[in-house]
């Protein structure tokens, strides 16, 4: 297949170097802001997965990587953070032209979050209980006992297209911090920044420790999650694919963590400071054009404040500026693809059909200078009931559903009436009401008077069908280690090993 010399091309990244895929084929990666080809990327195969897993296995089994002392490993993690900052501009550019995320967000938030995650884990590694000594047991006899925390082995990471680089780091950083090796398969819409990231980070790592295989979920993804030499899977994506991956992982009983979808409830209480709650709720749902798993897509408002809240939401949403994500003045970029745009527009039609009232947006957004891009206006529905499809299914686009409530108990009940449980939020001036709601909301994170406030030292993950396990924080390190109990007997004389009598009725005293 001929490759246009003007278009960037990316091979696979295996064993510390760029490698052509076995079939020498490529696929196109499009810029969602203009619909043009942004790059061509190697179309990996099952054989390429095997090659990458073999490199990762070799690096795990036969290098000093897994035995590195915590201080040394901490230094490596700090140097990875520095590499991210040193290459910030190129990484942010590649991320923006493929994911459609604004350069303002990626450059000023994601890149810093990524570097900070490596630094945060570098500090945790120094305090991590890699080896704990237990007290000598009174029974059955004296012994030395350790609990060791050891790396799991080869970790397969599979990531989505919305924030590909940041989410890749949520998996790569703790895996490396604990001495594992990694094979990552990025989403086919957005593999560019992950490939570049792997090249940059690998300058500080032994060959084979970090590998990238690009290609389809059905071929590369499935080959990876069912490969017998992979020990752990860390997946972020839809609940639907998460279910499939969990089933595939069962074949070889792999450690599995899943970060899945959400339909997060956001409750404005009647005493809330509306001047913060209203812009905050729009920030919660329209950042990255609604393509964040923890977006606050269901807004619960008190009956008597409904009209005033909706009026202000619409006023403010109408001021958001679409544009080229590379322009730092752009508030909202495109959605990821034509297919995603069509799926969002179909949900909007479904909302109208179900009887919800469209009060803002609802159409494709035409953006001068970005013809061919996939933009959708910030969209707000009122008269939504919690059982409607637009209130229950993850739309993954800029669509807010507003639901009335008459009592806080009713709001919490509706908030929890979903298969998901990723995030939730409540706006109030009353700290007692805030904590009561936070206790009752079934979600892995609850924001009070704010949204999107993830921290690198706090765990993130889902309740219910939003996932299994947690990323970030010191808790994430546990997901990349396995526990070993080591017992050393301090009883050298057979006659004092009375517990052998559980088997032998007589001992040979002669």
Q: Is 280 in the site for ligand NAP (CB under 6 A)?
A: no
Strand ranges inside 298-454, DSSP E: 298-302, 357-360, 379-382, 399-405, 423-427, 445-448
Binds ligand NAP (CB under 6 A): choice among 9, 131, 218, 489? 218
Asked about 169 being catalytic, the answer comes back as no
Given the rule CB under 6 A, which of 260-268, 282-290, 323-331, 487-495 is the region that contacts ligand NAP?
260-268
CB of 413 to ligand NAP, least distance (A): 23
Active-site residue (options: 19, 95, 199, 259): 259
Q: Is 252 in the site for ligand NAP (CB under 6 A)?
A: no
- Does 192 help bind ligand NAP (rule: CB under 6 A)? no
Q: Do strands 37-42 and 26-30 pair parallel, antiparallel, or not at all (unpaired)?
A: antiparallel
Exposure class string for 120-131: b at 16+ Cβ within 10 A, else e? bbbebbeebeee
Beta-carbon contacts of residue 29 (< 8 Å; ≥ 6 apart): 37, 38, 39, 40, 41, 98, 188, 189, 190, 191, 192
> Which region, judged by CB under 6 A, interacts with ligand NAP, from 33-41, 98-106, 122-130, 232-240?
232-240
Q: Please select the residue that binds ligand NAP; options are 99, 162, 194, 264, rule is CB under 6 A.
A: 162
> With binding defined as CB under 6 A, does residue 121 bind ligand NAP?
no
Closest CB to ligand NAP among 167 and 317? 167
**Total residues binding ligand NAP (CB under 6 A):** 31
> Which residues have C-beta within 8 Å of that of residue 455, sequence separation ≥ 6?
472, 473
Q: What are phi and psi of 346, to 5 degrees?
A: -65, -40
Q: Is 467 among the residues that bind ligand NAP (CB under 6 A)?
A: yes
Q: Contact between 293 and ligand NAP (CB under 6 A)?
A: yes
Q: Is 23 in the site for ligand NAP (CB under 6 A)?
A: no
Q: What do you get for the CA distance between the two ends of the chain, in Å? A: 82
Between 211 and 236, name the residue whose CB sits nearer to ligand NAP. Answer: 236
Q: Interface with ligand NAP includes 159 (CB under 6 A)?
A: yes
Residue 48 binds to ligand NAP (criterion: CB under 6 A): no
Extract the tokens encoding 324.
Answer: 């080229």
Among 98, 188, 428, 442, binds ligand NAP (CB under 6 A): 188
Cα 29-30-31 angle, rounded to 5 deg: 130
Please report whether residue 225 would count as binding ligand NAP according to CB under 6 A: yes
Asked if 117 interacts with ligand NAP (CB under 6 A), we say no
Residue 377 engages ligand NAP in binding (rule: CB under 6 A): no
Within 10 A of 213 (CB to CB), how many other CB atoms are there?
Answer: 30
362 binding ligand NAP? (CB under 6 A): no
Catalytic residue flag (residue 293): yes
> What would you report as the CA-atom Rg of the chain, rounded to the nearest whole angstrom?
26
Asked if 264 contacts 187 with a C-beta cutoff of 8 angstroms, the reply is no
Residue 233 binds ligand NAP (CB under 6 A): no
- How large is the angle between the packed helices 111-127 and 88-99, nearest 10 degrees? 120
Identify the residue whose tokens are 């994911």.
Answer: 99
| 295 contacts 262 by C-beta, under 8 angstroms | yes
Catalytic residue numbers read 259, 293
Contacts to ligand NAP by CB under 6 A: 158-162, 167, 185, 187-188, 216-218, 221-222, 225, 236-238, 241, 244-245, 259-262, 293, 394, 396, 422, 462, 467
């Amino acid at each position: 297949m001929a490759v246009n010399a003007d278009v960037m091309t990316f091979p696979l990244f295996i064993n510390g170097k760029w490698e052509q895929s076995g079939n020498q084929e490529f696929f196109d990666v499009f810029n969602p802001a203009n619909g043009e080809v942004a790059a061509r990327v190697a179309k990996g195969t099952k054989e390429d997965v095997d090659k990458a897993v073999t490199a990762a296995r070799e690096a795990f089994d036969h290098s000093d990587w897994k035995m590195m002392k915590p201080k040394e490993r901490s230094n490596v993690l700090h140097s990875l953070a520095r590499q991210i900052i040193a290459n910030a501009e190129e990484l942010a550019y590649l991320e923006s032209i493929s994911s459609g995320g604004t350069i303002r967000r990626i450059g000023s938030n994601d890149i810093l979050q990524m570097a900070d995650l490596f630094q945060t884990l570098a500090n945790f590694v120094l305090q991590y209980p890699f080896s704990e000594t237990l007290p000598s047991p009174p029974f059955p006899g004296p012994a030395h006992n350790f609990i060791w925390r050891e790396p799991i082995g080869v970790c397969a990471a599979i990531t989505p297209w919305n924030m590909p680089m940041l989410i890749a780091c949520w998996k790569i950083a703790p895996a490396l911090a604990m001495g594992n090796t990694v094979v990552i398969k990025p989403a086919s819409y957005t593999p560019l920044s992950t490939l570049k990231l792997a090249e940059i980070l690998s300058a500080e790592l032994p060959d084979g420790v970090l590998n990238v295989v690009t290609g389809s979920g059905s071929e590369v993804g499935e080959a990876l999650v069912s490969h017998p030499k992979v020990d752990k899977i860390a997946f972020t994506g839809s609940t639907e694919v998460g279910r499939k991956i969990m089933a595939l992982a069962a074949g070889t009983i792999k450690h599995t963590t899943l970060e899945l979808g959400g339909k997060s409830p956001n409750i404005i209480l009647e005493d809330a400071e509306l001047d913060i709650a209203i812009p905050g709720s729009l920030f919660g749902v329209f950042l990255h054009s609604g393509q964040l798993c923890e977006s606050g897509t269901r807004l619960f408002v008190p009956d008597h404040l409904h009209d005033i809240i909706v009026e202000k939401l619409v006023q403010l949403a109408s001021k958001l500026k679409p544009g080229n994500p590379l322009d730092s003045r752009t508030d909202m970029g495109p959605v990821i693809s034509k297919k995603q745009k069509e799926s969002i527009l179909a949900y909007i039609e479904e909302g109208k059909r179900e009887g919800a009232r469209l009060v803002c947006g609802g159409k494709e957004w035409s953006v001068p200078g970005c013809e061919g891009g996939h933009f959708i206006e910030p969209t707000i529905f009122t008269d939504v009931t919690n059982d409607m499809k637009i209130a229950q299914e993850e739309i993954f686009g800029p669509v807010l559903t507003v639901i009335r409530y008459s009592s806080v108990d009713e709001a919490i009940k509706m908030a929890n009436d979903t298969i998901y449980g990723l995030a939730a939020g409540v706006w109030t001036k009353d700290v007692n009401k805030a904590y009561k709601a936070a206790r009752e909301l079934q979600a892995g994170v609850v924001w009070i008077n704010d949204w999107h406030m993830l921290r690198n030292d706090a765990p993130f993950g889902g309740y219910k069908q939003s996932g299994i396990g947690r990323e970030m924080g010191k808790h994430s390190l546990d997901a990349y280690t396995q526990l070993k109990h080591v017992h050393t007997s301090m009883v050298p004389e057979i006659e004092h090993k009375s517990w052998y009598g559980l088997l032998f009725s007589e001992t040979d005293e002669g």
